């Protein structure tokens, strides 16, 4: 049984990954600081091959023995927060990665896990045409994406200088159950449920790619099992929509009129016009996405209705 040390495994994507890894027979040691973004009552304790350590990746002093991979999801993840309070982003997203790399380096070479780091398409910055491959230059715009890019650069340097083995996954925007309501997809449902207009920055024309969280976790496990160390893998559904179009899809899906339920607010500083990534490399490992936003919105609405009574 392979042993994974998963950081941030109580967060949105990390918790789906932990569930999938446990179901596929991995031993999971979950390290999480339990910030405001951590989910509760996930039921992982019912798996005998699960352990939870409440800890901050910035202050951890050692890694447990016999770990095959450190899968690092732990991060501050909300771009708006990074604009108003950026220090903790630098600490968790950059310094935390530095500390994990040093903890791996401190081990005997034969006992060093592979560092599988979860990065983001945002590190490439805005590209109004075409799509970024893994070889594109890193050119971040927000404090969030700058700290994620800093982590990627640290990983390259620790590989070149100290031989630390790594794999980096860069995914696009995820959606699914358990996402904090600060994020666009769940926030739109939350606002509708509370009969509040959904707020959209600027004119909402900036484009993103949208990926079901289960597909992302499956891609990460595919990379873990079949990918090569020393490589970056982009992960995307190639489903590209502007932010305002996603909000409209959800509002329409709920049987309401978009023009009555959207409020446009001033744009975010450093807003990127478009992210688009090429994911042929992960597809060559045999992975492909299974879900689309159009298919998922009614499913999510049903789950929401069951939980809260109506939307």
Ligand X SMILES: NC(=O)c1ccc[n+]([C@@H]2O[C@H](COP(=O)([O-])OP(=O)(O)OC[C@H]3O[C@@H](n4cnc5c(N)ncnc54)[C@H](O)[C@@H]3O)[C@@H](O)[C@H]2O)c1
Binding site for ligand X (CB under 6 A): 7-8, 10-14, 31-35, 37-38, 56-58, 73-77, 92, 96, 118, 120, 148, 171, 173-174, 180
Q: Determine the residue with CB nearest ligand X.
A: 11
Residue numbers annotated as active site: 121-122, 144
| Cβ count near 87 (within 10 Å) | 10
Measured CA to CA, the distance from residue 241 to residue 189 in angstroms comes to 18
Nearer to ligand X, 19 or 120 (CB): 120
Q: What is d(CA 281, CA 298) in angstroms, rounded to the nearest whole number?
A: 31
Nearer to ligand X by Cβ, of 10 and 301: the residue is: 10
240 touches 269 (CB < 8 A): no
Chain-centre distance for alpha carbon 101: 20
What is the spatial distance between Cα 310 and Cα 268, in angstroms, rounded to a whole number?
A: 31
Which pair of structure tokens corresponds to residue 200? 């959209």
The backbone region for 269, taken as left when phi is positive above 0, alpha when psi lies in -120 to 50, beta otherwise, is beta
The helix (run of H) or strand (run of E) holding residue 296 is helix 293-308
92 or 136: CB nearest ligand X? 92
């Amino acid at each position: 049984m392979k042993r994974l040390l998963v950081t941030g495994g109580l967060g949105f994507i990390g918790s789906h990954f932990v569930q999938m890894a446990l179901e596929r027979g991995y031993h999971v040691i979950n390290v999480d600081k339990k910030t405001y973004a951590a989910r509760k009552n996930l039921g992982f304790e019912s798996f005998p091959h699960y352990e939870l350590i409440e800890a901050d990746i910035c202050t951890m002093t050692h890694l447990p023995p016999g770990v095959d991979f450190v899968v690092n999801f732990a991060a501050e993840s909300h771009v708006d927060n990074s604009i108003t309070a950026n220090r903790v982003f630098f600490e968790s997203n950059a310094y935390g990665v530095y500390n994990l790399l040093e903890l791996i380096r401190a081990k005997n070479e034969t006992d060093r896990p592979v560092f599988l780091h979860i990065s983001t398409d945002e590190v490439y910055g805005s590209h109004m045409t075409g799509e970024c491959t893994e070889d594109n230059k890193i050119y971040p715009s927000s404090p969030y994406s700058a700290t994620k890019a800093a982590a990627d650069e640290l990983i390259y340097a620790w590989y070149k200088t100290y031989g630390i083995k790594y794999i980096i996954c860069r995914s696009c925007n995820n959606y699914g159950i358990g996402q904090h309501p600060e994020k666009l997809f769940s926030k739109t449902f939350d606002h509708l449920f509370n009969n509040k207009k959904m707020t959209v920055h600027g004119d909402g024309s900036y484009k993103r790619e949208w990926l079901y969280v289960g597909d992302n976790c499956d891609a990460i496990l595919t990379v873990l099992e079949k990918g090569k160390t020393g490589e970056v893998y982009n992960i995307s559904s190639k489903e590209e929509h502007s932010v305002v179009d996603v909000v409209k899809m959800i509002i329409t899906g709920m049987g309401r009129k978009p023009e009555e339920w959207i409020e446009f607010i001033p744009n975010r500083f450093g807003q990127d016009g478009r992210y688009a990534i090429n994911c042929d490399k992960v597809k060559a490992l045999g992975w492909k996405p299974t879900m689309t936003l159009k298919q998922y919105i009614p499913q999510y609405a049903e789950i929401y209705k069951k939980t809260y009574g109506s939307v």
